[in-house]
Structure 1
Amino acid sequence: MTEHFSPYDADRPLMLKCSCGQDHSAADHRHEAAAVELRQRSLTSEFEAYSNEFIEATLVKALFPQDAVRRRFLRAVGKSTALAAISSVLPVASMQALAQDAGKKAGSLEKTNLRIGFIPITCATPLIMAQPLGFYKQQGLNVEVTKTAGWALIRDKMINKEYDATHFLSPMPLAISMGLGSNATPMNVATIQNINGQAITMSLKHKNNRDPKNWKGFKFAIPFEFSMHNFLLRYYLAEAGLNPDTDVQLRVVPPAEMVANLRAGNIDGFLGPDPFNQRAVYEEVGFIHLLTKDIWNGHPCCAFGTSTEFIEKNPNTFAALYRSILTAAAMARDPKNRELIARVIAPQAYLNQPEAVLNQVLTGKFADGLGNIKTVPDRVDFDPMPWQSMAVWMLTQMKRWGYVKGDINYKQIAEKVFLITDAKKYMKELHQKVPEGAYPKFSIMGKEFDAAKAEQYAKSFDIRKAG
């Protein structure tokens, strides 16, 4: 059996001192220096081989999680052919290079065993896939990604320090930091996990009632109050002339229970995360009325973040987490990787969904439940930039709908919570393209949003919470 070099072997002394204990001659010194250099090169080569084999084994195991299936596959095609096939669609060489670089950084980590919470939805794709594909391990981290039942539980576990970091709805760190719905606890958004990727899904009984002006009295599910789902659904209904607080009922329902509630007739529709919009079509109980990209193309949804306290106490560990998530996001952005990613995140430990459903979501070629096959490549995307103007927009909606009373220093809160400077720093470290600015303008249903005019924007809507 081949013995591989372990990164921990670097701590062992290299017994190169002369056994006689006497001063060496110049020739002996040169000989010793040459021996040290040779040994260092050998260790580097052995570590690179260890890292490369680890990455290769991790990829094969992630794509073929069942031992018997994996063994049959490797016997049938051979290791070299299997790795060549995987390398044609996954950035194996880049991953191996990152793994080698991580070996140099792992020793400075304050904490290596981490628990990260997630809700089993496609929004969490980068955070989830980083575990089976080895991106956390590349950075010297031993991460347990923990499936969690609902967003209130995610919030509570972060406040109680049961999780080190987590999958957030992107408005949640703003709300928690401000003490909205919980004790004020400073939280931060490190990256946006996904943009777009949501839909309004309606019961099949409403397939001939597509005009939202006719939806007065309807019941809709949203996953959490401090969510883009809530804010986008409210925006959409209000643009159609309906007051979401008085003309319809909005109910908080965990994403995994939305399809069952639609089937039971408890709700008329939901604005929720995938894969549950596509799952409703798959189970023939609903249709996709509208993708949220048609409300705001490029809107944020979920985020990856942690507490300000964790960052302050564990800056190197936080940096390692950042690099892991950014590496996963870069891979997820490439459309050619989406089918393989669907296979990686489909198992019971992660999303526990049919690959066919996840493929439709991630590739953007999907059935809409009305007899049509749609092709929308950017149905979901994975741009990690935590734009501070996105945070300001969320705050304007909190103000618009009465979640926040009184004056708000929009810019101050956005810059405190959304860590765009850090995101750019670590993207640059990873040689990723770094965009400029922090406050781009956006268009939501044809209306421009400029963060510099936040208060004016919040007050510009005819339908809003009184007071």
Structure 2
Amino acid sequence: MSNKSLGDPYQSEVSLIHSKRCRCDSCRFAGDERTYSQALEQQADQSSTHRESNAHPCEFQSAEEVMDRAIENTIVRAVFGQDDHSRRRFIRAVGGGTLAAALSSVLPMGAIKAAAKEAGGPLEKKKLNVGFVPITCATPIIMAHPMGFYAKHGLEVEVIKTAGWAVARDKSLAGEYDASHMLTPMPLAMSLGIGSTAKNFIMPAVENINGQAIVLHVDHKDKRDPKQWKGFKFGVPFEYSMHNFLLRYYVAEHGLDPDKDIQIRVVPPPEMVANLRAGNLDGYLSPDPFNQRAVWEKVGFIHTLTKDLWDGHPCCAFACSQEFALTHPNTYGALLKSIVEATHYSSKTENRKDIAAAIAPANYLNQPVPVIEQVLLGRYADGLGEVKHVPDRIDFDPFPWHSMAVWILTQMKRWGYIKGNVDYQTIARQVYLASDCEKVLKELGYPVPSGTNKNYFIMGKEFDVTKPDDYINSFTIRRT
């Protein structure tokens, strides 16, 4: 189903007729690949990762809303015998509201929509390519393959190990991946055209919360105060990552300017330990298992877990293009259900030893099982001579809170990745599809949050989701 068939049928100025001669944007771009590419280039400033942002990535906030609109269109067209001119004349005469009320009085619109959604349909595509970067944050996406969650919902998924986030982004943009494991800031950046061509991506599920750490080289055991880190070189897995934003937040709270007092380099997670050993990095803020692997290989120690900065912070997520969700709604629904179910299963501590064994092999994480168990079970050596027990060192919760997106957007603006006015809540709603996740949670019988926004305390400072710009302006060290 293409967007060109999803105009509002109750508006007289909206045409529901589309043909080769149609000059509306969606028809023009769909019929002219060169023009479409040029339009995308106009949306994204390829010469800079910073851009003005007043973008609204998408009219619809969920696949369910798309289905509602399609049903309304079908009924209205049928009433007017597919004569769009008659429909538009009628609405101009009596108003769209009158038409909607008249139809509702003779047709149970709500029941029709519910029945259509309940009926579903066959999977449009069963064989899928889903990318993942080999880290424990991707546990649900990975373990859903060997432990049968995809197959349970009729899908034949190939989970494809990916070297790093730039590759995952580019393969997703190119359509080589149907869906992918992503960092939670990535769908926001990709939809807004920050750092890449603009393309609407949606994030209907978070994968993990917590699960990261700041690791320092063993030579720096006497430098536990961040004020001593001037001149240090730190690795993060991607520029548009919670790792980058949390590291910046952490050092800035200790009086260091992350753009002037330290160096932050993008290093793919599997290369973190080697770069630490070689002296190319003094430390890194990275996903596991590479924090624990540094301890295992005696080249680094865990300075602090990120849960001690912000307990419950998001990290990684399941995402796909809006185009994939709209053109494969049943497949998208089955895939999302697989991911949410696998995420819920991963949240249970009693399942994690089996999960560690399932995701350890070379085609997945390629790590010793004890390393993965230390991460998933939260009983681990810290590299400083102590054994810690932190059961929620990593946890798994699929709900994509809009307030998480708003916080990420504030950090993008704080550090100059976004300039100008930002419509925080609109962007959050259009990219973080909480409504789709809520629907699946209800279907599976899992608890559903009562809202989509909440405040957070990060290093003791409250983030008020209703005052994002005040929050940015409260920081002394910032780029805006």
Superposed pair shares fold, TM > 0.5 = yes
Structure 2 residue 290 is matched with structure 1 residue 267: no
1:401 alignment partner in structure 2: 415
Residue 208 of structure 1: CA displacement? 1.4
1:368 alignment partner in structure 2: 382
User: For 1:224 and 1:150, how far apart are their aligned partners in 2?
Assistant: 8
Q: What secondary structure does 1:163 align onto?
A: coil
Contact 1:168 1:303 in 2 (8 A): yes
User: For 2:364 and 2:160, how far apart are their aligned partners in 1?
Assistant: 9
Residue 105 of structure 1: CA displacement? 8.4
Q: What secondary structure does 1:451 align onto?
A: coil
Residue 107 of structure 1: CA displacement? 5.9
Give 1:212-251 correspondences, 5 Å limit. 212-251=226-265
1:338 alignment partner in structure 2: 352
User: For 2:235 and 2:140, how far apart are their aligned partners in 1?
Assistant: 26
1:355 alignment partner in structure 2: 369
Contact 1:106 1:139 in 2 (8 A): no
Alignment RMSD, CA only? 1.1
1:445 alignment partner in structure 2: 459
Give 1:35-54 correspondences, 5 Å limit. none
Instruction: Considering Cα pairs closer than 8 Å and 6+ residues apart, tell me whether 1 or 2 has the greater RCO.
Output: 2
1:193 alignment partner in structure 2: 207
2:223 alignment partner in structure 1: 209
Residue 106 of structure 1: CA displacement? 9.2
**Number of residues paired by the alignment?**
363
Residue 392 of structure 1: CA displacement? 0.3
CA deviation map 1:388-433 (0-9, x unaligned): 0000000000000000011100011000000001101000000111
Larger Rg: 1
Q: What secondary structure does 1:452 align onto?
A: coil
1:143 alignment partner in structure 2: 157
2:173 alignment partner in structure 1: 159
Q: What secondary structure does 1:337 align onto?
A: helix
Contact 1:392 1:454 in 2 (8 A): yes
Q: Partner letter of residue 463 of structure 1? A: I
Q: What secondary structure does 1:394 align onto?
A: helix
Residue 283 of structure 1: CA displacement? 0.2
Contact 1:199 1:271 in 2 (8 A): yes
Give 1:49-198 correspondences, 5 Å limit. 108-198=122-212
1:322 alignment partner in structure 2: 336
What is the TM-score of this pair, normalised by structure 1? 0.77
User: For 1:190 and 1:420, how far apart are their aligned partners in 2?
Assistant: 6
CA deviation map 1:36-68 (0-9, x unaligned): xxxxxxxxxxxxxxxxxxxxxxxxxxxxxxxxx
Residue 200 of structure 1: CA displacement? 0.1
What is the TM-score of this pair, normalised by structure 2? 0.75
Q: Partner letter of residue 313 of structure 1? A: T
Give the gaps of 5 or more residues in structure 1: 1-103
User: For 2:375 and 2:421, how far apart are their aligned partners in 1?
Assistant: 40
Structure 2 residue 384 is matched with structure 1 residue 382: no
Q: What secondary structure does 2:467 align onto?
A: helix
Q: Partner letter of residue 374 of structure 2? A: Q
User: For 1:339 and 1:375, how far apart are their aligned partners in 2?
Assistant: 16
Quick one: structure 1 residues 233 and 362, their matched pair in 2 at CA, closer, same or farther if it must change by over 3 Å? same
Contact 2:121 2:330 in 1 (8 A): no
User: For 1:348 and 1:193, how far apart are their aligned partners in 2?
Assistant: 21
How high is the sequence identity, in percent, across the aligned residues?
61
User: For 2:441 and 2:120, how far apart are their aligned partners in 1?
Assistant: 19
Structure 2 residue 472 is matched with structure 1 residue 458: yes
User: For 1:143 and 1:105, how far apart are their aligned partners in 2?
Assistant: 24
Q: What secondary structure does 2:195 align onto?
A: coil
CA deviation map 1:305-346 (0-9, x unaligned): 100011111111111011101111111001111111000000
